[in-house]
Amino acid sequence: MVGIFLTVWVRRGLRKCVQSLKVSTVGVGAMGYIGNKGAVSVSMSVYQTMFCFVCSHLAAGEKPGDVHKRNADVHEIHRRTRFAAPGDLQLPRNIHDHDRIFWLGDLNYRLDASYERAHELISAGSWRELAETDQLKRELRKGRAFDGWTEGVLEFAPTYKYELGSRRYVGVGDHQGQSQSQRGGGRRTPAWCDRVLSYGKGLRLLGYRRSELALSDHRPVTATYAAEVEVFSSRKLQRALTLTDAEVEGGQVVPDLDF
């Protein structure tokens, strides 16, 4: 893959509880397969719960119809992401086989608003009204992409497109003395290109925000979740087996035991 990088970090105390690590890559760029656009996915178990992390870079563009290219990329990544599961092991083979799923990256969805209207709402801090023009929110509502997925409320400024090393969006302010690369190559309507979505039960969003790291023409976003996991108890299993053996010998009915 070109420019798509995904790492999963765990606390040292949890390392021994992480198993079944697998990686899948899908290119959806030029000719439908080149890796300048696509996704890197990681599958792993934490205790007895299967997690999947998907990092993607989807089709760019503000032209009418570009949103359909992004939707097509999402469907193609879902379709072609596969994790090897040797033998008959009951391990996830695709994204939706997992219990808890996170999808993040430069999803490239734009605003269906004019340049002037977008900046007017940004200046006023009217995030809720601005979010009504967001393509991804609309596609989520209509089920045309990421059907059943959820995202936090957008209560921060759009993360794209900034002048390099600046707090200004491209096309705003005086560009005297700046090179074209510093200006970002022309006027762009700001957008929430950088997103984090989740799918599955047992997930609770604790925070969703952007960071002010001016290392590129994007601003990174962070999402914090609390995730439930299933933990197998060998002690309870041993107790159940002991009771079962005793009750079979005595001709008794085995009681229900909660694991």
Q: Does residue 163 lie within any of the structural domains? A: no
Distance CA 56, CA 195 (A): 10
CATH of the domain at 74: 3.60.10.10
Count the domains in the chain: 1
* pLDDT tens-digit readout, 88-98: 678 999 999 99
* pLDDT tens-digit readout, 32-85: 777 789 999 999 999 999 999 999 999 999 998 999 999 999 999 999 999 998
| Domain housing 72 | 12-112+134-158+192-249
pLDDT on residue 104 = 99
Residue 251 sits at φ, ψ, to 5 deg, of: 70, 25
Identify the helix (H) or strand (E) that includes residue 128.
Answer: helix 127-131
Q: Does residue 125 lie within any of the structural domains? A: no
pLDDT on residue 240 = 57
Residue 237 sits at φ, ψ, to 5 deg, of: -65, -45
Q: Does residue 185 lie within any of the structural domains? A: no
Q: Does residue 207 lie within any of the structural domains? A: yes
DSSP β-bridge partners for residue 207: 224
Q: Does residue 180 lie within any of the structural domains? A: no
pLDDT at 142 over 70: yes
* pLDDT tens-digit readout, 211-225: 999 999 999 999 999
3-state SS class at 72? helix
In this prediction the pTM is 0.85
With cut-offs at 50, 70 and 90, classify the pLDDT of residue 176: very low
Q: Does residue 231 lie within any of the structural domains? A: yes
Q: Does residue 175 lie within any of the structural domains? A: no
Burial of 191 (0-12, 13-18, 19+ CB in 10 A): buried
Q: Does residue 154 lie within any of the structural domains? A: yes
